[in-house]
């Protein structure tokens, strides 16, 4: 007599790269040339950054929201030795989209290269290297109770939900951007298709003051959408009609992946940025009753996919 087939969903395994792969680029804020090497890592290693120009453990930084020390214009990690690595969010978002759990990221400078200002080049690197499953189950952080951060007219809430989904609203007085709202399921495939190519953006009139603060020194039309008055200065225009709000979701995905695992919950955000994303992770993970670890299965994102009402509105 044949036994009954198990109906328990298959647990998803952790993943890393098949082999190393490197790239060279420019730091968005430092303006310096950066060489980055992505290296496979063992199960349960997590994402770890290593500065090749700083010897020993002083050059090691775990990709952890608790190590975020600066959120002006990017998410910057730092350790107790004072070692810093800036602009990690676009790479972290790509690693979420590629479902990479374990990786060592080696850099010879203090910033991840900006590439074209999106996550797409990093996904291309991972795809070129290839990925492999590892002998350990993949885990996620499941949200059990709502957590909210409010700061003036900025507000972000993370509530229980099926899979991972987000609704984001931005509202700029600038006519080229205006008000944009988008809601979508954020399973890795949707992130790749709908979010990964959205580039960072800035305003031409702010460039001088940002550079005086040591920021945006590597910014250009090759790695950012630049707005001047009511015009987009980039010759090829926008990649999406609502590229600005899509990039804000990209930043959120990257910042959230600093939790050390995918987040399973429903995000509602209005006029928020890196500081609010980091504050929300602190608030959530400080409350043991508000979340739990759960093993990921092939059905983890099914609910979010069913509720993925992708859309946008620009006023």
| Active site (catalytic) residues | 274
Question: Which residue bears the tokens 């190590």?
Answer: 67
Can you tell me whether residue 188 is helix, strand or coil? helix
Q: Which of 134, 128, 132 is nearest to 22 (CA)?
A: 128
**Exposed / middle / buried, residue 7 (Cβ in 10 Å: 0-12, 13-18, 19+):** exposed
Q: Is the dihedral of CA 48, 274, 119, 233 positive or negative?
A: negative
Question: Which residue bears the tokens 């069913």?
Answer: 306
Core vs surface per residue 224-263: b (16+ CB within 10 A) or e:
bbbbeeeebebeeebbbebbbbbbbbbbbbbbbbbbbbbb
Taking the C-alpha atoms of residue 220 and residue 22, their distance in angstroms, rounded to an integer, is 22
- First-to-last C-alpha distance (Å) of the chain: 65
Taking the C-alpha atoms of residue 106 and residue 5, their distance in angstroms, rounded to an integer, is 45
Contact assessment for residue 97 and residue 123, using Cβ atoms and an 8 Å cutoff: yes
Taking the C-alpha atoms of residue 73 and residue 285, their distance in angstroms, rounded to an integer, is 24
Taking the C-alpha atoms of residue 141 and residue 6, their distance in angstroms, rounded to an integer, is 25
Alpha helices in 108-259 (DSSP H): 120-129, 188-194, 207-212, 243-256
Look at strands 60-62 and 47-51 and give their pairing: antiparallel
Question: Which residue bears the tokens 């044949």?
Answer: 2
Taking the C-alpha atoms of residue 93 and residue 259, their distance in angstroms, rounded to an integer, is 12
């Amino acid at each position: 007599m044949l036994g009954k087939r198990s109906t328990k969903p298959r647990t998803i395994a952790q993943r890393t790269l098949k082999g190393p792969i490197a790239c060279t680029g420019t730091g968005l804020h430092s303006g310096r040339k950066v060489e980055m090497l992505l290296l496979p890592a063992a199960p349960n290693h997590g994402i770890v950054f290593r500065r090749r120009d700083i010897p020993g453990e002083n050059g090691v930084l775990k990709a952890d929201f608790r190590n975020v020390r600066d959120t002006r214009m990017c998410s910057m990690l730092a350790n107790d030795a004072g070692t810093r690595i800036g602009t990690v969010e676009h790479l972290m978002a790509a690693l979420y989209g590629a479902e990479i759990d374990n990786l060592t990221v080696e850099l010879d400078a203090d910033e991840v290269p900006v590439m074209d200002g999106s996550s797409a080049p990093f996904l291309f690197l991972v795809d070129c290297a290839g990925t492999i499953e590892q002998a350990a189950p993949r885990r996620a952080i499941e949200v059990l109770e709502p957590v909210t951060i409010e700061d003036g007219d900025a507000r972000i809430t993370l509530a229980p939900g099926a899979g991972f989904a987000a609704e984001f609203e931005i509202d700029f007085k600038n006519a080229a951007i205006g008000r944009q709202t988008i809601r979508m399921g954020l399973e890795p495939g949707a992130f790749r298709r709908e979010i990964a190519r959205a580039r960072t953006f800035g305003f031409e009139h702010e460039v001088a003051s940002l550079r005086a603060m040591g920021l945006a020194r590597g910014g250009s039309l090759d790695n950012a959408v630049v707005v001047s008055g009511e015009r987009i200065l980039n010759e090829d225009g926008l990649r999406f009609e609502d590229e600005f709000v899509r990039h804000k979701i990209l930043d959120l995905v990257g910042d959230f992946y600093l939790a050390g695992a995918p987040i399973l919950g429903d995000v509602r955000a209005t006029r928020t940025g890196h500081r609010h994303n980091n504050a929300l992770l602190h608030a959530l993970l400080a409350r043991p009753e508000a979340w739990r670890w759960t093993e990921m299965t092939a059905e983890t994102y099914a609910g979010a996919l069913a509720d993925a009402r992708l859309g946008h509105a620009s006023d």
